């Protein structure tokens, strides 16, 4: 079985984001970028499936600016076999919307015929939480979102999902799309020899036009602002004072 | 302008709070029709009809809709879409599973986690886990929107909407439900709790995390944890508050032994009152706290419990 894993280049999760002065978005120039943390978990899960003999090839794909090549190399260093870079934007500040990404991925799926697509449940930049579900709809496939456990067995997969208030377990028909949540696994670090080897693994370059997909956004960004800052608080001197303040505020 | 609102129905019961909050947001867009879907949904539909501002309720009962599997639920909604300009829901995990699928079936973008309605096409939503707020204007003919419930007040009762029964779409039979494991706890659910008590790396061990749980029980609160505490194995991941965990906005948030990494602040900084207890006075958590107490948590927490009476 071939596994396709879409990965996204996003601002590193430890970096404090800064809103650009003109309100057009968040400043991404000269900021540390990394693979979306949820996508790292998806790559790791694909590698574990391969190690368990349930997958034979892992193809990673990234859609965006040419710098996404670095993200793909990271996935290759972790253990993916080959990569596809779909150039869809020139400016690092251009975010390709989930609908357009899903349409391109649907074309990649047609070409590659994977038995499983493993994706992060959301990207930590636009937080839309949509691409996997949208791809599933476009393909008419089943979906198992927010997975904390995955067991692929022949033409079915059992997916345990993180839902509000607990867990839900479902069985889905293969081929399927599974979007992964944090608890699924702990991604490995790429070793130096593997980073060197990854440089020689195949990486195909394509464009959105190659797939005939229009990536014009449906959502116009009107403005981007800093959230309202919280009013300055106070340091209390004792537990008594804290309890007093909380009672005053009606909080306890 | 007509709005179709997917009610939150779990095992036949309406999640009134989440649904009523979404109704408040949806009434800004137009006439609200609520869809109650489930293996049994009539009771949930009848309850939704009483929410003020709801003008009509559609009840769809079918075994395929019993556990809110995405494929049959999305097919049902997409089949109803021609009558509505907006298709909305509270931003629960169920809705986030279903709505993007609906949007793709309709060839429109989904707009997730909306925190404010500007007009029928324009919405505010947090990005980067709330570190920025973006206003977006949709050019799609239909808008598929989920509302972040923490930012809307629940609509009241007193409505008397008409209820109509409709049939389910053909079940594509792509998936089947096996089981639900509801977290067995008498504590409130983390994302809707009025009070949350969270522990961080400073708590030091899984055993000592009992202290956090005891304080939470004293306050009738849900228990949260920082990613550092989860990574250290002190607390399970479904307690995690932050960018990579759950986003909460309770009336009172008590952060114990949490330094306040960016990724944690992103998950709790919309709380109404924030209390921080940490022995490091330089900890960034104090910059967002309304009340900060610089103290050893192992002394301060027991004393706090005692003084809360």
Token pair of B155, please? Answer: 């609509």
Smallest CA–CA distance, residue B206 to chain A, in Å, is: 18
Q: Which of A97, A133, A135 to mutate to test the interface with B (most CBs of B within 10 A)?
A: A133
A149-168 residues touching B, CB cutoff 8 A: 158, 161-168
CB-CB contact of B202 with B257 (8 Å): yes
Smallest CA–CA distance, residue A237 to chain B, in Å, is: 7
Smallest CA–CA distance, residue A52 to chain B, in Å, is: 24
The answer to whether B129 contacts chain A (CB < 8 Å) is yes
Predicted pLDDT of residue B37: 97
The answer to whether A194 contacts chain B (CB < 8 Å) is no
Return the exposure string of B229-247: e unless at least 16 CB atoms fall within 10 Å of the residue's CB, then b.
bbebebbebbbbbbbbbbb
Considering only alpha carbons, which residue of chain B is nearest residue A25? B134
Q: Which residues of B touch A243 (CB under 8 A)?
A: 304, 307-308
Q: Is A248 exposed, middle or buried (0-12, 13-18, 19+ CB in 10 A)?
A: exposed
Per-residue CA distances from B131 to A24, A27, B226, B237 (Å): 15, 12, 17, 22
Residue A76 to residue A189: CA distance in whole angstroms: 11
Give the torsion sign (CA, A106, A110, A111, A113). Answer: positive
Considering only alpha carbons, which residue of chain A is nearest residue B285? A233
Considering only alpha carbons, which residue of chain B is nearest residue A176? B174
Interface contact A235-B113, CB threshold 8 A: no
Interface contact A102-B104, CB threshold 8 A: yes
> Can the peptide bond before residue B34 be classed as cis, meaning omega within 30 degrees of 0?
no
Predicted pLDDT of residue A217: 97
Angle at B79 between CA B77 and CA B81, to 5 degrees: 70
A61-90 residues touching B, CB cutoff 8 A: none
Q: Which residues of A touch B237 (CB under 8 A)?
A: 148, 182-183
The answer to whether B178 contacts chain A (CB < 8 Å) is yes
Smallest CA–CA distance, residue B76 to chain A, in Å, is: 13
Predicted pLDDT of residue B246: 82
Predicted pLDDT of residue A128: 96
The answer to whether A141 contacts chain B (CB < 8 Å) is yes
Instruction: Tell me which residue in A170, A219, A242 faces B109 most closely, judged by beta carbons.
Output: A219
- Contacts for B162 with CB less than 8 Å, ≥ 6 apart: B49, B56, B57
What is the value of pTM for the model shown? 0.91
Predicted pLDDT of residue B245: 77
CB-CB contact of B255 with B228 (8 Å): no
CB-CB contact of B71 with A105 (8 Å): no
Q: What pLDDT tens digit does each residue of chain B (309 aa) get? A: 799 999 999 999 999 999 999 999 999 999 999 999 999 999 999 999 999 999 999 999 999 999 989 999 999 999 999 999 999 999 999 999 999 999 999 999 999 999 999 999 999 999 998 889 999 999 999 999 999 887 898 999 999 999 999 999 999 999 999 999 887 778 988 887 899 999 999 999 999 999 999 999 999 999 999 999 988 999 987 799 987 778 888 999 999 999 998 889 888 988 999 999 999 999 999 999 999 999 999 999 999 999 997
Q: Which of A135, A218, A224, A240 to mutate to test the interface with B (most CBs of B within 10 A)?
A: A218
Instruction: Tell me which residue in A124, A217, A243 faces B129 most closely, judged by beta carbons.
Output: A124
Predicted pLDDT of residue A104: 98
Q: Which residues of B touch A217 (CB under 8 A)?
A: 109
Predicted pLDDT of residue B263: 80
Instruction: Tell me which residue in B69, B174, B244 faces A37 most closely, judged by beta carbons.
Output: B244
Query: What is the count of residue pairs from A and B with beta carbons less than 8 Å apart?
Result: 246
Q: Which residues of A touch B137 (CB under 8 A)?
A: 219-220, 222
Predicted pLDDT of residue B260: 94
**Would you tell me how many other CB atoms lie within 10 Å of the CB of residue B153?**
10
B139-158 residues touching A, CB cutoff 8 A: 139-140
Predicted pLDDT of residue A115: 98
Enter the ipTM.
0.95
Regions in chain A scoring below 70 on pLDDT: none
Predicted pLDDT of residue A14: 82
Predicted pLDDT of residue B191: 80
């Amino acid at each position: 079985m071939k596994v396709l894993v879409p990965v996204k280049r996003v601002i590193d999760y430890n970096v404090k984001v800064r809103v650009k002065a003109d309100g057009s978005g968040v400043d991404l120039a000269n900021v540390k970028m990394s693979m979306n943390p949820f996508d790292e978990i998806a790559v790791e899960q694909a590698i574990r499936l391969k190690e368990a003999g349930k997958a034979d090839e892992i193809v990673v794909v990234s859609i965006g600016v040419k710098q996404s090549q670095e993200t793909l190399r990271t996935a290759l260093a972790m253990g993916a076999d080959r990569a596809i870079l779909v150039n869809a934007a020139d400016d690092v500040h251009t975010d390709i919307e989930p609908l357009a990404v899903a349409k391109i991925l649907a074309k990649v799926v047609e070409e590659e015929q994977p038995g499983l697509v493993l994706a992060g449940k959301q990207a930590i930049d636009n937080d839309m939480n949509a691409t996997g579900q949208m791809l599933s709809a476009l393909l008419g496939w089943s979906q198992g979102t927010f997975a904390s456990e995955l067991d692929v067995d022949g033409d079915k997969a059992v997916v345990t999902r993180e839902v509000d208030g607990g867990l839900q377990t479902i069985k889905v028909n293969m081929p399927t799309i599974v979007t992964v949540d944090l608890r699924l696994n702990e991604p490995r670090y790429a070793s130096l020899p593997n980073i060197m080897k990854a440089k020689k693994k195949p990486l195909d370059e394509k464009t959105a036009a190659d797939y005939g997909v229009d990536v014009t956004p449906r959502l116009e960004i009107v403005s981007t602002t800093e959230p309202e800052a919280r009013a300055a608080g106070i340091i209390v001197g004792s537990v008594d004072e804290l309890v007093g303040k909380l009672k005053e505020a009606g909080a306890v | 302008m007509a709005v179709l609102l997917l009610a939150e129905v779990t095992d036949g019961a309406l999640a009134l709070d989440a649904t009523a909050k979404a109704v408040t947001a949806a009434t800004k867009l137009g006439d609200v029709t609520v869809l109650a879907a489930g293996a049994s949904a009539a009771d949930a539909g009848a309850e939704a009809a009483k929410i003020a501002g709801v003008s009509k309720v559609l009840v769809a009962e079918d075994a395929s809709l019993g556990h809110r599997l995405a494929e049959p639920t999305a097919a049902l909604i997409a089949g109803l879409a021609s009558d509505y300009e907006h298709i909305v829901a509270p931003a629960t995990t169920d809705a986030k599973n279903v709505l993007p699928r609906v949007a793709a079936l309709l060839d429109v973008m989904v707009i997730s986690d909306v925190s404010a309605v500007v007009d029928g096409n324009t919405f505010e939503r947090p990005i980067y886990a709330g570190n920025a707020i973006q206003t977006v204007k949709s050019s799609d003919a239909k808008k598929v929107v989920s509302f972040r419930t923490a930012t809307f007040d629940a609509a009241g009762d007193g409505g008397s909407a008409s209820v109509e029964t409709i049939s389910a779409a053909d079940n594509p039979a792509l998936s089947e439900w096996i089981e639900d494991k509801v977290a067995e706890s008498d504590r409130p659910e983390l994302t809707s709790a009025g009070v949350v008590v969270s522990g961080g790396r400073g708590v030091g061990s899984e055993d000592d995390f009992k202290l956090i749980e005891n304080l939470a029980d004293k306050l009738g609160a849900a228990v949260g944890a920082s990613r550092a505490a989860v990574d250290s194995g002190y607390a399970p991941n479904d307690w995690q508050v932050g960018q990579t965990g759950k986003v909460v906005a309770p009336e009172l948030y008590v952060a114990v032994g949490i330094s306040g990494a960016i990724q944690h602040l992103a998950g709790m900084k919309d709380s109404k009152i924030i209390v921080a207890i940490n022995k490091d006075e330089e900890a960034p958590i104090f910059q967002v706290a309304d009340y900060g107490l610089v103290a050893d948590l192992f002394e301060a927490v027991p004393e706090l419990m005692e003084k809360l009476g």
